[in-house]
């Protein structure tokens, strides 16, 4: 069994000596100075009482000294024999909670990693030409799942204080950009699959030619074949529901990201006294409505004039 | 057993190709560093009307043969310069040579302030004002209208709402029936919420739309096209034409958000136009009101607006003088390919002239008849 009393004493002594050192750090360089500042008493009692720094001009040092003293007193109190057992239990509980939390996250991460490895392994598998059923959406969805379960919640922590709105906008920007870029990467990944399939078809074709003793005499012909097959694979992919779904996700997430980005930009513009996009839109809307009204009225006037003339 | 491979032949080919490439590279450098003629839209015109970002270009032929001027309404996507891409490959030049006086809408570049403009604002605002302007200038009551792609949709809507203003209507690669799964654009527009991009960007960015168009056929439009360019990089004429086309393709104004949203929701998703159920500024667009002659062009291999989206129009309008013409070409080929250059503009000019003269002779016969009656009454 571990001797908790000895351990706590060691920690207590270590923290106390560190605090004392920290307390001495600021006043001492001042003492070594030869100018007026050094000799004007820029030092204070490093003991528990002492009031050399009680002058208004040294109030920063006084505040610092008080904080250190309070911390030392608190540590001493915590290290008192009657509190040691409780302290030890609390530290143990805290460590346990941290370990558990890290364990959960690690478990989720390992799950994600295992899914990702499986999914990426699929990419290397033989893919049938002109079929897009094996387009792997799960690797990207796994990432989004991990993000939604493990990271998004931290960005959604309620913001407080004066700058809460700015914090909220920035968190939202990070959130929306992560989601958008995950969809964009998936979309880009989809565009690599027709190339992969085409290259496989061409490799097989060239292999057969070489086995038959044929040589590619006209590279242009090979290119023409390649581009024709590639076009076919692209057409199949672009028509597929999988592609349209990813495209739509990319569009909607881009719109959400752009919306938040606009709102962050507006906040900066407002600070710089520059009219924001939203403010300008209001002005434009007014101008638009006025122009429309003028157009209608002008036509009515012209009609009336014609009637009068007739 | 594996057959023997003629290694000497392979090595000879590699050496030959190395020499050819070297020569080509020298010629390519000379071409690319020389003075290239890549200007587009070079036929002279005058700006005769301006409203906000919108301008009206006026092209006058040396000899006016068609008394009724033609107003060309281009799409909001890309620019009208495509109709005058280069000398001898220009719809504008060809129509002028046939004696057709042209007015062409230049929609300009929408900015953030234009985001609220709806289809109604384009049709009942800009187009209606332009038609009124031309009619007043030329002292006429009606003019001919030719619409291109989305501009064709605007033309149909304007004509159905103002049939008294349109003498003849020409629609080219104009989508009117959206109830089809032909064409990727159709699938994507229906199955995604692309319209929300217009809302967050204020207008639908031209670059994003262009990216979407490239993705309709990435193998050809992102790879093969540039491989073709590299293969012909030492041909000055080819390079000039290629650069002209690049200039046009990537000159993409944004589309006002409200128009973009309406186009997707009301047309692509609900298909209201072809069933005469579309309502613009409170008025129903009744295709039966299109009773004037209609000429409808489309391309058999058009991947943006496939024939299924164009062919139904003539069966739903009220006109009895109507004709469908399907060319064996794509969305742009109809205006720029050499074959279509020989057929497309001349056909339009001849069709308009036939109806121009016919109407004129009818009018003059009518006038003579009235005069005869008046004389008889006097006698």
Parse chain A into domains and list their residue ranges: 4-79, 106-274, 279-310
Give pLDDT tens digits for A279-298: 999 999 999 999 999 999 99
> What's residue B274's pLDDT?
97
Q: In this predicted structure, what is the pLDDT of residue A49?
A: 46
Q: Could you tell me if residue B363 is inside a domain? A: no
CB pairs under 8 A between A and B: 83
- Helix boundaries (H) for chain A: 4-25, 27-32, 36-39, 59-79, 81-124, 138-146, 152-155, 164-211, 219-239, 241-271, 277-309
Evaluated on CA atoms A86, A92, A96, A98, the torsion sign reads positive
Residue of B nearest to A261 (CA): B200
Residue B315: inside a domain, yes or no? Answer: yes
Distance from the B8 Cα atom to the nearest Cα atom in chain A, whole angstroms: 11
Q: How does DSSP classify residue B288?
A: G
- Using the beta-carbon criterion (under 8 Å), do A231 and B220 form an inter-chain contact? yes
Q: What gap in Å lies between CA B125 and CA B121, rounded to an integer?
A: 5
Instruction: Tell me whether residue B367 is in a domain.
Output: no
Closest-CA distance, A121 to chain B, in angstroms, reads: 27
Instruction: Give residue A57's pLDDT band: very low, low, confident or very high (50, 70, 90).
Output: low
pLDDT, one tens digit per residue, over B168-193 is: 999 999 999 999 988 889 989 999 99
In A, which residues are within 8 Å of B192 by CB distance?
Answer: 244, 247-248, 251
Contact call for B116 and A285, based on CB within 8 A: yes
Residue B153 included in any domain: yes
Q: CB distance from B12 to chain A under 8 Å? A: no
Please name the member of A210, A244, A254 whose beta carbon is closest to the beta carbon of B187: A244
Closest C-alpha among B210, B187, B211, B156 to residue B264: B187
Residue B5 contacts A, CB cutoff 8 Å: yes
With respect to residue B166, please indicate whether it lies within any of the assigned structural domains. yes
**Which of B187, B192, B217 faces A251 most closely, judged by CB atoms?**
B192
Distance CA A27, CA B204 (A): 64
In whole numbers, what is the pLDDT of chain A averaged over residues? 78
User: Is residue B29 assigned to a domain?
Assistant: no
Q: What is the pLDDT of residue A141?
A: 81
Other Cβ atoms within 10 Å of B236 Cβ, number: 18
A105-150 confidence digits (pLDDT tens):
677 777 767 766 665 555 445 445 545 555 566 778 888 888 888 7
Please state, in angstroms and rounded to a whole number, the distance separating the CA atoms of residues A124 and A77: 63
Nearest to B113 among A219, A254, A284 (CB): A284
From chain B, pick out residues whose CB is under 8 angstroms from the CB of A231: 217, 219-220
Q: What's the confidence (pLDDT) of residue A44? A: 44
* Count of structural domains, chain B: 1
CATH of the domain at B159: 3.40.50.1820
Alpha-carbon Rg for chain A, nearest whole angstrom, is 36
| d(CA A90, nearest CA chain B) in Å | 51
> Among B350, B367, B34, B333, which residue's Cα sits nearest to residue B173?
B333
B326 is annotated as an active-site residue: no
Residue B6 inside a domain? The answer is: no
Distance from CA of B199 to the nearest CA of A (A): 8
Q: What band does A20 get if pLDDT is binned at 50, 70 and 90?
A: confident
Smallest Cβ–Cβ distance between A252 and the set B187, B193, B218 belongs to B193
Ranges A89-93, A178-182, A247-251: which has the least confidence: A89-93
Per-residue DSSP letters for A141-206? HHHHHHIIIIIHHHHTSPP-STTHHHHHHHHHHHHHHHHHHHHHHHHHHHHHHHHHHHHHHHHHHH
Structural domain boundaries, residue B329:
46-185+272-357
Q: How would you write the pLDDT of chain B (379 residues) with one tens digit per residue?
A: 455 666 777 777 778 888 888 899 999 999 999 999 999 999 999 999 999 999 999 999 999 999 999 999 999 999 999 999 988 889 999 999 999 999 999 999 999 999 999 999 999 999 999 999 999 999 999 999 999 999 999 999 999 999 999 999 999 999 999 999 888 899 899 999 999 999 899 999 999 999 999 999 999 999 999 999 999 999 999 999 999 999 999 999 999 999 999 999 999 999 999 999 999 999 999 999 999 999 999 999 999 999 999 999 999 999 999 999 999 999 999 998 888 888 999 999 999 999 986 655 555 555 556 666 666 665 5
In a domain, residue B52? The reply is yes
Q: How much is the pLDDT for A195?
A: 93
In a mutational test of the B interface, the residue from A194, A207, A248, A251 whose CB has the highest number of chain B CBs within 10 Å is A251
Q: Residues B66, B149, B310, B340: which is the catalytic one?
A: B149
> What is the three-class DSSP state of B8?
helix
CB A206 within 8 A of CB A216: yes
Which pLDDT score is estimated for A213?
Answer: 75
Ranges assigned E (strand) in B78-172:
84-86, 89-90, 100-106, 143-148, 166-172
pLDDT at A188: 92
Instruction: State pLDDT tens for residues A225-268.
Output: 999 999 999 999 999 999 999 999 999 999 999 999 999 999 88
Say whether pLDDT at A224 is over 90: yes
Chosen for mutation from B116, B203, B217 (greatest number of chain A CBs closer than 10 Å) is: B116
Alpha carbons B154 and B165: distance in angstroms, whole number: 14
Whether ipTM exceeds 0.95: no
pLDDT bucket at A46, cuts 50 / 70 / 90: very low
- How far apart are alpha carbons A210 and B90 in whole angstroms? 49
CB spacing of B13 vs A191 below 8 angstroms: no
């Amino acid at each position: 069994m571990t001797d908790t009393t000895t351990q706590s004493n060691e920690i207590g002594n270590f923290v106390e000596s560190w605090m004392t050192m920290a307390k001495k750090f600021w006043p001492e360089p001042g003492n070594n100075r030869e100018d007026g500042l050094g000799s004007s008493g820029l030092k204070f009692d490093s003991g528990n009482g002492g009031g050399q720094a009680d002058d208004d001009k040294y109030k920063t040092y006084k505040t610092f000294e008080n904080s250190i003293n309070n911390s030392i007193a608190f540590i001493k109190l915590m290290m008192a024999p009657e509190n040691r057992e409780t302290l030890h239990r609390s530290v143990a509980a805290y460590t346990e909670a941290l370990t558990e939390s890290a364990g959960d996250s690690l478990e989720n991460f390992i799950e994600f990693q295992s899914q990702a490895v499986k999914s990426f392994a699929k990419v290397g598998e033989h893919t049938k030409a002109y079929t897009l059923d094996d387009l792997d959406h799960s690797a990207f969805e796994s990432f989004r799942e991990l993000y939604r379960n493990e990271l998004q919640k931290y960005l959604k922590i309620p913001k407080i204080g004066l700058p809460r709105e700015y914090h909220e906008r920035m968190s939202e920007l990070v959130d929306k950009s992560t989601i958008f870029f995950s969809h964009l990467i998936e979309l880009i990944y989809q565009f690599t699959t027709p190339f992969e399939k085409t290259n496989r078809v061409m490799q097989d074709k060239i292999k057969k030619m070489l086995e038959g003793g044929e040589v590619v005499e006209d590279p242009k012909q090979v290119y023409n074949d390649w581009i024709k097959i590639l076009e076919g694979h692209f057409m199949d992919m672009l028509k597929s529901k999988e592609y349209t779904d990813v495209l739509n996700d990319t569009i909607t997430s881009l719109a959400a990201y752009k919306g938040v980005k606009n709102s962050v930009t507006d906040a900066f513009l407002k600070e710089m006294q520059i009219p924001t996009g939203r403010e300008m839109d209001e002005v434009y809307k007014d101008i638009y409505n006025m122009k429309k009204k003028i157009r209608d009225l002008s036509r009515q006037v012209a009609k009336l004039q014609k009637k009068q003339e007739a | 057993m594996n057959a023997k491979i003629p290694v000497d032949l392979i090595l000879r080919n590699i050496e030959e190709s190395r020499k050819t490439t070297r020569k080509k590279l020298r010629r390519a450098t000379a071409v690319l560093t020389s003075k290239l003629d890549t200007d587009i839209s070079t036929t002279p015109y005058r700006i005769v009307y301006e409203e906000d970002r919108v301008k009206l270009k006026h092209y006058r032929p040396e000899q006016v043969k068609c008394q009724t001027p033609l107003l060309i309404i281009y799409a909001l996507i890309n620019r009208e310069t495509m109709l005058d891409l280069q000398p001898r490959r220009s719809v504008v030049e060809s129509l002028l040579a046939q004696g057709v006086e042209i007015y062409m809408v230049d929609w300009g570049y929408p900015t953030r302030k234009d985001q609220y403009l709806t289809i109604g604002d384009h049709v009942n605002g800009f187009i209606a004002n332009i038609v009124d302007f031309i009619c007043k200038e030329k002292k006429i009551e009606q003019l001919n209208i030719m619409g291109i792609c989305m501009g064709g949709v605007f033309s149909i809507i304007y004509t159905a709402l103002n049939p008294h203003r349109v003498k003849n209507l020409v629609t080219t690669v104009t989508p009117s029936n959206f109830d089809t799964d032909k064409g990727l654009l159709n699938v994507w527009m229906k199955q995604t919420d692309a319209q929300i991009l217009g809302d967050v960007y204020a207008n639908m960015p031209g670059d994003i739309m262009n990216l979407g168009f490239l993705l309709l056929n990435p193998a050809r439009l992102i790879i093969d096209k540039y491989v073709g360019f590299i293969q012909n990089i030492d041909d000055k004429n080819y390079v000039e034409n290629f650069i002209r086309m690049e200039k046009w393709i990537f000159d993409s104004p944004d589309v006002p958000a409200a128009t973009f949203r309406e186009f997707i929701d009301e047309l692509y998703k609900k298909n209201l136009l072809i069933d005469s159920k579309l309502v613009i500024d409170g008025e129903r667009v009744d295709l039966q009101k299109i009773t004037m002659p209609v000429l409808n062009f489309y391309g058999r291999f058009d991947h943006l607006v496939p024939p299924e989206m164009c062919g139904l129009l003539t069966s739903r309008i009220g006109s009895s003088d109507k004709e469908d013409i399907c060319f064996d070409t794509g969305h742009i080929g109809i205006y720029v390919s050499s074959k279509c250059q020989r057929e497309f503009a001349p056909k339009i000019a001849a069709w308009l002239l036939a109806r121009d003269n016919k109407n004129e002779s009818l009018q003059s016969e009518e006038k003579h008849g009235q005069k005869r009656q008046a004389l008889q009454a006097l006698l």
